[in-house]
Amino acid sequence: MNKLNELKKYLRLPGMRIAWLALILLVVSAVLVLFNSSDWVVFSVTFVIWLVVFLSSYQTTKLNLEISASSRRMENIISNLRDGVIFYDEQFRIKIFNRSAEAIFNVKRDDVLNKIFGPELAGEPQWRVLAQTIFPSLAPLVVWRSEVGAYPQVVDVSFTDPNLDLRVTTDRLFDASGQIIGFMKIVHNRTAEISLAKTESEFATVTAHQLRTPLTGINWSLQSIVSDPEAGESAKALASTAMQVSGKLLKTVDDLLNVSKMESGALGYSFEDVNMVAFINTQLNTMLPVAKTYGVSLYFDHGAEQSVPARIDPNRLGLALTNLVDNAIKYNTPNGSVTVKIERQKDKPYLLISVSDTGIGVPPDSLNKLFTKFFRAPNAISQQTEGTGLGLYMTKGIIERHGGKIWAESTLGRGTTFFFTLPTDPNLIPPKETINLV
């Protein structure tokens, strides 16, 4: 019964008209046969033609109906997505613009469909935000989250009028022959998320400040007891122990304060041109006493180059490099080594810096969690019980603020290498700090 109903449905569709026309010819041919039996050949040929036309029309109509239904389902899915979806062809003519895109850009779908969006529209108030999203290089603030020119492209675009923070993912669409037919943008509105993160970060900053003030006072009081010549030896010993504990607590509070500032985009950076070979040499010299304490050798491999220029914030990048080298020393083996290497990346405007150790390594299931907040690998906790799990998280934020990327490779029991890049082109450094959402 269902098959019969389906057949009736298809027979009523416009795509079957040619089959009905062919049926008329078949009927005419049959009438001629009634009056002239010699026309049986014509009737047979006509019947075969009608049968081919009917089957072809039926299959085509059925396929078109399925495609149409599939297209409507896809259109409904795209229309109801929470993220904005924009598709435009190679001439930048918009073909798809869903409801979320309407809400994000405050424009109507009917006003933009089949409209060509060129860079010149960025100067028109009605289209400014949409045009600058299609052409991110025109936006007031852009942070690239993927390599420039690579697909899919991921960028964070921020506007102040109106207040909008968007993450835009762009990818190409191809036809069956591999030719580009257009570009699809997925626009995620992060404005509310960033506002919430900023509020949480501000709360954490205030709390850390409130903790830091009394801790500083306690530390100063303990220092006074330790340095007081009239204090007894037992009091001095007790005060010294308490001062070490309060000092560690103060460092934890400082770490939390710096992380809160980094996440809210308020850590503060001051960039300058430096010679990276001299910079790294200076940082490693400050780490030599720690390396000696742990019985670890420290090496610097800068090849034949004595001067490698880069634009950095020496204080912030110094903190990041110190975190990496400090971990490499403390999680090493007796008589182990740490090697810091710098080299230029071939055919790329980046420096590659690595910090390699011969230490305990990182378990494979922990490797992708290393840069998350408060995470410490199980074998690291067993070797060094102290630590907040904030060092690598903050290091990652500092490297990304410099326009670079950081990652790690490790073999359990044989050592770990941390790699990070730094741009040699200052234009690749983000223009300002951004809110960091995990």
Residues 23 and 171 in one domain: no
Residues 164 and 56 in one domain: no
**Max CA pair span of the chain:** 138
Q: Which of 41, 63, 79 represents a domain boundary (last residue)?
A: 79
For residue range 242-284, list pLDDT tens digits in order: 888 877 787 888 887 888 778 777 788 999 999 999 999 999 9
Residues 181 and 200 in one domain: no
Count Cβ atoms below 10 Å from residue 160 Cβ, excluding itself: 8
Q: Once rounded to an integer, what is the mean pLDDT over residues 357-383?
A: 84
Question: Could you give the number of structural domains in the chain?
Answer: 4
pTM, 2 dp = 0.62
Answer yes or no: is pLDDT of 113 > 60.
yes
Burial 232-262 (b: 16+ CB within 10 A, else e): eeeebeebeebbeebeeebebbebbbbbbbb
Residues 424 and 277 in one domain: yes
* Residue 13 DSSP symbol: S
- Check whether the bond before 162 is cis (ω within 30° of 0): yes
Range of the domain at 22: 2-79
- Name the residue with higher pLDDT: 206 or 251: 251
Task: Report yes or no on 166 lying in a domain.
Answer: yes
Residue 372: pLDDT band with limits 50, 70, 90: confident
Task: Report yes or no on 239 lying in a domain.
Answer: yes
DSSP characters for 297-365? EEEEE-TT-S--EEEE-HHHHHHHHHHHHHHHHHTS-TT-EEEEEEEEPTTSSEEEEEEEE-S----GG
Q: Which of 79, 108, 132 represents a domain boundary (last residue)?
A: 79
Helix axes 233-263, 191-227, angle to 10 degrees: 160
Residues 75 and 94 in one domain: no
Answer yes or no: is pLDDT of 222 > 90.
no
Residues 290 and 417 in one domain: yes
Note the pLDDT of residue 27: 67
- Which residue type, as a one-letter code, is found at position 341? K
Task: Report yes or no on 142 lying in a domain.
Answer: yes
Virtual CA dihedral for 64, 68, 71, 72, nearest 10 degrees?
Answer: -170
Task: Report yes or no on 433 lying in a domain.
Answer: no
Which domain CATH number covers 351? 3.30.565.10
Under 8 Å CB-to-CB from 111, ≥6 apart: which residues?
A: none
* Residue 12 DSSP symbol: T
For residue range 397-410, list pLDDT tens digits in order: 999 999 999 999 99
CA dist 189 and 208 (Å) reads: 30
Task: Report yes or no on 63 lying in a domain.
Answer: yes
Q: Which of 79, 106, 125 represents a domain boundary (last residue)?
A: 79
What average pLDDT does the structure give for the chain? 83
Task: Report yes or no on 435 lying in a domain.
Answer: no
Residues 401 and 345 in one domain: yes
CA dist 229 and 108 (Å) reads: 79
Which domain CATH number covers 158? 3.30.450.20
Answer yes or no: is pLDDT of 375 > 60.
yes
Residues 407 and 341 in one domain: yes
Helix (H) or strand (E) run with residue 77 in it = helix 40-79
Residues 285 and 378 in one domain: yes
CA dist 250 and 260 (Å) reads: 15
Count Cβ atoms below 10 Å from residue 270 Cβ, excluding itself: 9
Tell me the CA distances in angstroms from 370 to 317, 353, 404, 406, 410, one per residue in order: 19, 18, 17, 11, 11
Residues 253 and 380 in one domain: no
CA dist 58 and 270 (Å) reads: 71
Task: Report yes or no on 365 lying in a domain.
Answer: yes
Query: End-to-end CA distance of the chain, in Å?
Result: 56
Q: Once rounded to an integer, what is the mean pLDDT over residues 207-223?
A: 77
Residues 73 and 91 in one domain: no
Residues 318 and 413 in one domain: yes
Task: Report yes or no on 309 lying in a domain.
Answer: yes
Tokens of residue 415, six digits:
């050592």
CA dist 305 and 203 (Å) reads: 46
**Alpha helices for 143-275 (secondary structure H):** 191-227, 233-263
